[in-house]
Structure 1
């Protein structure tokens, strides 16, 4: 017996087979309804050429002279027989040699089972809703169980696991599931733990949302979860979707197995299919309604008009931009390549033609070649280039359909040649696609010009998109990596098809900027409009293209290649400093920024911290580009970042600011920067890093007026951090792995709380996350000192911070106890500093010293002295007779009468001795 899906796919194949035999023939629309092949504003004469009296009176878009295999097309065009020219062109396209295309891009999480949904125009934006399975219920209560084992590990670290239910087909029926408020048979998540025990969870939140008259109504207390969809368009007044959320905090370990059980029925009595999606936005059932839910999945199934390629009302702002990019084209084309099921090819061709017909009607002069924006068009034609290489041999591709698609390609090529944007990543994407068209559609007359135009621009743009120090001008790690990967794709496509690629000159600088930013585990630090994801594969492609052995080391976590010649690094023009102990997953890392540019957040002087096995102070992400409250907080509030918000105002990241210090040594690093991002108060942040020990963070807040100001210093944590406060010290309580203590020097002057914020690991995913807030009000200058103390598994540590004179004493207890002094101008714990900052740590007669200034004394002895201010780190070991100096830029006098060996930056160096002092000349 044929299933509904078999019948539908058969209908698509049948309508596609008849599509386009003539200009007015039918083609499959998105819902299997026949529609005409669109009439392009590029006429047949403009495409094939018009010949008269021995000459082309209208030049052809095809390069007949340079492509001898187009001779039959040329002959038909000269005779004015354009249908025959189309037939000959299709024959040529089917038989020509294969070409290497760019990879397809997909803005979401591609999982098996999506192709039938794509062909039914059931489309999802982004990664916040991920298709899992299709459930079937009958006319009476039906229990359905779905294995979700692969979800519970990542979801546990995100705090919970959510699901969304929506109707598979549009029909006038309501499906009802028992909710957690039902007397029985409510939803359950059954977990089999590693020790063999079983835990059964009920939803912490569940509800449904309803459009129409109930759009502002909350159904969080309902005993049923309703699902319904009918009519035309993306939804109707009776559409309903259901949501569930299971709290996974406190499990202690990833379950060995997990299954979701729901009980529901089709109230019409016939039986119905329901789509189950993973939902990555946490919610409050008591307040969630249709009107305040940013939805990402919509269905035009069964709609004769199909998708109009515009944003549905109430959808995320990006929906109308992203779906015309044809992110589904690659997966559908791959499905066809694997199965040779003509309904897959016919469905995709139908969607392409439907887009051309719609977009040409409201897309301006370039029509489907440019709609809706140049960036979206560029992404679309990258995906079309990939798909066409597979579809060109399909029997479902008729001559008229082939010509219509290729006419649209010519319009896109003309458009990409002249269109502009002020945003570098946009232009790199646009010109990369122009390059792809010039390489993969080389039989067009304009193809050589497209290649030259693209390569010339790409050669210039990458240099222009980098600061003099090699940092990328947009303040977003994901966008910077996207640009780098565009260049990898460009080079790959050109070289594989026999063309030279000359535009990678500045790529090495960008590749190392990206490598320096990357966490020790190889993941993106996710600052700005970015997502937390593994970058090692992408760094690996850059390493291979550039043949860079040190970059290969970073990309493989040290498994291959040669270790880089640096760890910590500063980018003064980009205004970023990174402190790290190494390049392996168990190393320590901090990033400090005062950057600016497109896709930046108001996060001046924010830090991200990673230690050993996880981010301890992450960037909190972006969620969406919409103006919903969650996105507005994440993208628009300084409070959502690991910095200081002043007077409750978001910083202006375009305001003056600078990275002033980025000093690195084998045992201690120092970074500092300032910002005027909040009018009326200059904020300076200094970060001192004692390697694999602790960070000392100092915030100096200096008003330009005499008034009182409010300050909130915030430290953001992962959702499963489970923080607690004790006398102002905040401590995370991850079930396993590294934890963090946040210790303010003067807790009595602060109001310490643990508010609930948000964490968006990747775009379109968001959940609640507690953060640490230290708030105060002050008149005049204010200094906030904070110790960040990582605590490794099995190595208990605590810190006591004591203000002492001009500076601080920090006592670390537990594993590897130590006492250190943060020194400021004046006297602290027997030390006296002439300069801006210092650090001293003694272990018996051995000393570790950091000087930013001209002199550091202990009692009356000048331990370090210099005539010219400098930043230098020194390790003194009397028992071994060694003095290790790092970073010295001028003559340095050291109280080390016992010294027998001196190194400067690891190299043995001569020195002179005078009494109890040695003098080192770097």
Structure 2
């Protein structure tokens, strides 16, 4: 039979009767995935909310028994509906390689594989959904999943939306319906591993319906079957979301359920689905976005995917008048910020983890830039064609990664240090702790192997499952262990240098410590130290490249990659690696020719990679100089160790580096407190030091971190009046350019015999000279802007009373028989059914940290065992907390209950002396994890965190009851605060914190959180604290985001009767670490004024206006402000000022400018 490539759409004979009986019965119960069942048109009454006025014509036809007529009215309704919106399709979008015309003809193409699924006999598209697409039954080709995703559907959608040929448009619509109904009919189950495919498919079904619903050729019975299939898929995913929590699949499912609920509000379940999806996203993001603002899956591709999904939810919500929680939008911006900050100079993502898409994150960066009017994000997303060049330089996300960069130009030098501490240990994580990615001079030079696809081939498994495939240290030829601690211990940055230091426990008991020092803008020193075991091990330092051949000098062991090493080929930018082994280590360079790397859209196989191999017993290490260069001849580079007798590599290391026209010397101390030590002719008391002399012997640049002295050949090079966190100096002609990152106040003397001008952070600065030394004075200061002033007044808490006088006040019946009852204007909300069902009347717009009260009058019981109460953090009838009074044969009890995925847990219970039948006032509180319930003088409490957000509901089970005067108020001012742990309450101008046993109570001022974690945030905070307990502490947390991230700055009492002030750093695995401690004389028997300031790495604590403690720490650089207590305490009148744009240090010498560098320091 001759195929009609563009047939007019008419109902296929093969479909007769089938469409009407396809999947409608799915609406009644949650079934196994995709199971088809027979039904008839009468199920429209269960599928749709026929009380909606706009469905009156459908309801009337059904009431008259005219089911076909009802389907026709439904078709007419959807064709003409204009008040619900969906994002417009992208032009020529869609996966696969088949054109829209081919798809309409039943032809599908993915890569080299093509299938013709048109059934000539039945005149329709009849897909073989089990086709293995070039694979096997056990390992099908990837196109099988793409087919079930309906990944090709956007191509049909966009062709229909933007096409003008009516014949083709009709063919596209016919293909859409054919393919969709064919899937519903054929795929009656799928494994759990295909639930992501179901989520993607549902999103495509909704997007397709948003365009094709107006096509006149749609058969009304097919439309009913289609809607039923959509409903069934959404309902199934709602059930799956109860048990599948933890990765991007969950967000994808929530996105699709939300899209269904908003675009198809006519579904009777849509109101519940919409709120369930939103609450589920809130819960997921709170649990799985880390304290540094990075999403937990350690692959940029999936971090970008989650941000894209959140943005899709926003794009659906906005035009439909929906208001989403601020946290959803803020989190998508945070994820986009990390994608922005880690962009390579070519504006592509680093291929870390399962990241096959070089453009991953571009859309998320662009949407965040547009939403917030951030021109630097727009610049990146547009490929440098719009917006403004970013000013952000090197930055750290201390739980995840650090970026060292010289700028944002295409030729800039760039290094990513990947060390993502995460609870995620599943498939998208690679064993790549402390791996590196480097780019310079217009191209990536050191690359992560990335990922091919997810099929279990030897190449894919090597790229994804081995440490050998990544730029880090491998021990004994096995991959790093998943789920072990990874920490950041050091970060310093200024215009002349960056230093990162982190560790991984991937080879316990061996601890790998890697320091990466960037001499800007030229080259890096990578220092690997391996300690923790006395046994012998085989070690390999691994390096991977973008397909360039690798040559190694057998004498110097210097590796050369790129440049002009390929005869007959045009020179390219390249890199030289210069290893410097520890004493006694027999280092063997090995060039392997069987590597594989992803470069852009291609996976290159049988490419060279390099390992430096050695065997050692006990502690060992290897230092490597990494020097990129422009296209052409490779730069001449050498390096040799500077001997420091008696000093092991794990204590300190030093080397001399021969550069073109210069010689550098590098020193690194790994000591907790650096000692004063000589390295060759130089001496320093610093943590790191660097000197560089030109070939003629004159100093050209030098630097130190965490020290005050650097001497070379007996001459002072740097002398500071106090330890300086970081300083670098470049001598450029007659100008000395001094760069400082973290704050310093005092004098700096530097060796600069031939200069007559000095700049400090680019500001001309006055100086004095004594011989070869010049001296400048520097004063650290910053100008924060007030962002919070809270007196904890009762009036600041929003409070609403629902008296039900004449209306239900927005409370929506979910189950049961609800109505208003009572005489005159004084009516109550009544539930009259005594059936054995859980009855709810729900209100969703409720604070997450909430206090509720209701007057409840129990009524007739259907059985002896019956309940009345209030549900809170209510998501749907299968997920909520509740407090209820239980009547049973043994009497009355007050209970706190959790219901999750339909399963019930009793969290707390106690006898109730007043009985279950008496009218009573029930008061419940849910603030953070702490839940309470009270009737009269009887109260119970529990801690639980599974449901952090949700609405409220009046509740009965097996009995009638009336509810009146339901009061809902904030437990804490949610415009500013969020409770995290412990018992929290606000009363009479005080915030009361009571910790759980062995823990702490903690609240976070959400309003102080930064918009970008890539920017450091500085704070000045003060509050009045009263420690009511005899032992314990209370204080302010700065750069706070979670209960395991931030600086905890507190005062406290000991059991010995002494008092103290402490500073503790927490950064997930990088803590808790004691930063500073001091004894204080104040007895802390009454209120005191506690102050905490953080500026750069400097933290200052004051008590009643007097400084009692100061310390420095370099790790946590951004976050908000919180309050916490380990014993019962109260807080009053907190003030917070913030600066989230770094203000450069300004010299205080006469004639120096005092203007702020960018603005007044305010920001956020």
Q: TM-score, normalising length from structure 1?
A: 0.71
Change (3 A) 1:417 1:309: farther
SS at match of 2:576: strand
* 1:754 aligned onto 2:591: yes
In the alignment, is residue 863 of structure 1 matched against residue 717 of structure 2? yes
2:552 aligned with 1:725, yes or no? yes
> Retained in 2: the 8 A contact 1:902–1:911?
yes
The separation in 1 between residues aligned to 2:80 and 2:93, in whole angstroms, is 32
Q: How big is the shift at 1:689?
A: 1.0
Residue 323 to residue 72, structure 1, CA distance change in 2 (3 Å): same
Q: Give the Cα separation in 1 of the matches to 2:622 and 2:258.
A: 53
Q: Paired residue for 2:343?
A: 518
Contact 1:525 1:532 (C-alpha < 8 Å) held by counterparts: no
- For residues 768 and 434 of structure 2, the distance between their equivalents in structure 1, rounded to whole angstroms, comes to 42
> Secondary structure of the equivalent of 2:301?
helix
Partners of 2:43 and 2:284 in 1: how far apart?
32
Distance in structure 2 (CA, Å) of the matches to 1:482 and 1:509 = 13
Instruction: Report whether the alignment pairs 1:635 with 2:460.
Output: no
Q: Offset at 1:104? A: 6.8
Q: 2:578 — aligned with what? A: 743
CA separation in 1, counterparts of 2:732 and 2:444?
38
Q: Deviations over 1:720-761 (max 9, x none)?
A: x12222232222236343111122224993221221211134
| CA deviation map 1:124-179 (0-9, x unaligned) | 3xxxxx25xxxxxxxxxxxxxxxxxxxxxxxxxxxxxxxxxx686799xxxxxxxx
Q: Does 1:822 align with 2:666?
A: yes
In structure 2, the CA distance between the partners of 1:443 and 1:114, relative to structure 1 (3 Å rule), is closer
User: Considering only CA atoms, is the larger Rg found in Structure 1 or Structure 2?
Assistant: 2
Write the deviation string for residues 764-783 of structure 1: whole angstroms up to 9, x where unpaired: 94533211121111122222
Structure 1 pair 381–487 and aligned structure 2 pair: CA distance change class (3 A):
same
Contact 1:805 1:828 in 2 (8 A): yes
Correspondent of 1:22 among 1, 17, 24: 17
The number of residues matched between the two structures is 717
Q: Is 2:639 aligned against 1:804? A: no
Question: Residues 462 and 654 of structure 1: is their aligned pair in 2 closer, same or farther, counting only changes over 3 Å?
Answer: same
2:539 is equivalent to residue 539 of structure 1: no
What SS is found at the alignment partner of 1:506?
helix
Q: 1:327 aligns with which of 151, 174, 182?
A: 151
* Mean Cα deviation higher: 733-742 or 404-413: 733-742
Q: Is the 8 A contact 1:658 1:675 kept in 2?
A: yes
**Displacement after TM superposition at 1:66 (Å):** 3.2
Q: Any idea what SS the aligned residue of 2:717 has?
A: strand
Deviations 1:484-503 (A, max 9, x none): 11222222222234444443
Q: Shift of residue 457 of structure 1?
A: 3.3
CA distance in 2, matches of 1:653, 1:71: 58
Query: For the Cα contact (< 8 Å) 1:557–1:583, is it kept in 2?
Result: no
Gap regions ≥5 residues in structure 1: 28-37, 50-59, 125-129, 132-165, 172-300, 364-369
Q: Given the alignment of the two structures, is residue 770 of structure 1 paired with residue 770 of structure 2, yes or no? A: no
Separation in 2, partners of 1:538, 1:657: 27
Residues 122 and 766 of structure 1, relative CA distance in 2, 3 Å threshold: farther
CA gap 1:482/1:167 in 2 versus in 1, 3 angstroms: closer
Per the TM alignment, residue 350 of structure 1 is displaced from its structure 2 partner at its CA by 1.9
Quote the offset at 1:615 in angstroms: 0.8
Q: Does 1:583 align with 2:408?
A: yes
Are 2:3 and 1:7 equivalent residues in the alignment?
A: yes
TM-score scaled by length of structure 2: 0.57
Answer whether contact 2:438 2:444 (CA < 8 A) is retained.
yes
Deviation at 1:358, TM superposition (A): 2.6
1:834 Cα deviation after fit:
2.5
Deviation at 1:333, TM superposition (A): 3.2
Rounded Cα–Cα distance in structure 2 between residues aligned with 1:603 and 1:433: 32
| 1:455-854 → structure 2 map (5 Å cutoff) | 455-502=278-325, 503-534=328-359, 535-556=361-382, 558-574=384-400, 576-597=401-422, 598=424, 599-705=428-534, 707-719=535-547, 721-727=548-554, 728-733=557-562, 735-746=570-581, 749-755=586-592, 756-761=594-599, 765-794=603-632, 797-806=635-644, 807-813=654-660, 817-824=661-668, 826-843=677-694, 844-854=698-708
Match of 1:383 among 204, 207, 215: 204
Residues 313, 868 of structure 1: CA spacing in aligned structure 2 closer, same or farther, 3 A cutoff?
A: farther
Q: CA deviation at 1:808?
A: 0.9
1:306 matched to 2:128? The reply is: yes
1:310-363, Cα deviation, whole Å (9 max, x unpaired): 89514348665443211122213334453443444333322211211233x336
Structure 1 window deviating more from structure 2 (632-641 vs 320-329): it is 320-329
Q: What is the CA deviation profile of residues 9-56 of structure 1, one whole-angstrom value per residue up to 9, with x for unaligned ones?
A: 47x7677444645347899xxxxxxxxxx995484477422xxxxxxx
Range moving further from structure 2, 899-908 or 455-464: 899-908
The Cα shift of 1:400 comes to 1.5
Contact 1:336 1:345 in 2 (8 A): yes
Aligned residue number for residue 76 of structure 1: 61
Structure 2 unmatched runs, 5+ = 23-33, 564-569, 645-653, 670-676, 781-1164
Going from structure 1 to structure 2, the CA distance change for 1:824 and 1:541 (only over 3 Å counts) comes to closer
8 Å CA contact 2:19–2:221 kept in 1: the answer is no
Residues 150-209 of structure 1 deviation map (CA, whole Å, 9 limit, x = unaligned): xxxxxxxxxxxxxxxx686799xxxxxxxxxxxxxxxxxxxxxxxxxxxxxxxxxxxxxx
**How far apart in 2 are the matches of 1:371 and 1:636?**
23
Q: Which segment drifts farther, 93-102 or 610-619?
A: 93-102
Give the deviation of 1:114 after TM superposition.
6.8
1:852-881 per-position Cα deviation (integer Å, ceiling 9, x unaligned): 445322233453356876531231649747
Once the two structures are overlaid, the 10-residue window that deviates more, 393-402 or 316-325, is 316-325
User: Which structure is higher in strand share?
Assistant: 2
Q: Which moved more, 1:797-806 or 1:902-911?
A: 902-911
CA drift at 1:394: 3.4
**Cα shift at 1:609:** 0.4
Please tell me whether the aligned partners of residues 567 and 582 of structure 1 are also in contact (alpha carbons under 8 angstroms).
yes
Q: Kindly tell me: are residues 900 and 498 of structure 1, through their superposed partners in 2, closer, same or farther at Cα, counting changes over 3 Å?
A: same
Q: Secondary structure at the match of 1:483?
A: helix
Return the alpha-carbon distance in structure 1 between the equivalents of residues 216 and 561 of structure 2: 61
**In the superposition, relative to structure 1, how do residues 877 and 771 fare at CA in structure 2: closer, same or farther (>3 Å)?**
closer
Q: Greater helix share, 1 or 2? A: 1
Counterparts of residues 10-159 of structure 1 (less than 5 Å): 16-18=11-13, 20-23=15-18, 41=37, 43-44=39-40, 47-49=43-45, 60-68=46-54, 70-97=55-82, 100-102=85-87, 110-111=96-97, 113=99, 116=102, 120=106, 122=108, 124=110, 130-131=111-112
**Aligned in 2, Cα 1:594/1:118: closer, same or farther, shift over 3 Å?**
farther
Cα deviation digits, residues 475-516 of structure 1 (max 9, x gap)? 010111111112222222222344444431233222211101
Change (3 A) 1:800 1:766: closer
